[in-house]
Homo-oligomer: A and B are copies of this chain.
Amino acid sequence: MEDNLKKSLRLKFGLSELSLNQIMLNKSLASFGDALVNFIYSLALSEKNLELTGAKVKSQVLAESLKRVDLRKHLPNRSDRHSQGDAAEAFIAYAWLQDGFNLEEATTLISTHVDEPVEAFSKFLELIKKRLMMH
């Protein structure tokens, strides 16, 4: 079911021709990615903790994770923390739409490291970076 959704959006928006730089600066991807990332993070926290919960991932966490996995260099030097967070969200949205990961594996990976959000998102970004390069 998740796969059909991704396929439909992938066909509609024809994202496959974007460069890494274009992906990370794409405001639409970042906007959609914000909802996607918060949903995944909410799933991961709920999976790990004693109650269901909804949560937003801080820009700071995403920005620091982006730097750790060496993706920060694809952004202009002047990029602030908020733009770096957007770039991470855009990259994650792109990867999901391109079938680089599914919700279940993202949730499992992030929930394993959820007490250290930067570690959790660094590992997640590292995984999808590798996956996308294999395509």
Contacts and interface: CB of A to CB of B under 8 A. Distances in A.
A101 B80 CA distance: 40
Interface in A22-36: 28-29, 31-36
A59 interface: no
A5 B42 CA distance: 12
A51 interface: yes
Residues of A contacting B: mostly: helix
Interface residues of A, number: 34
A5 B43 contact: yes
Given A1-B103, A5-B43, A36-B39, 15 more contacts: A2-B103, A5-B107, A9-B43, A13-B52, A28-B51, A28-B52, A29-B52, A32-B42, A32-B54, A33-B54, A35-B54, A35-B55, A36-B42, A36-B54, A39-B39
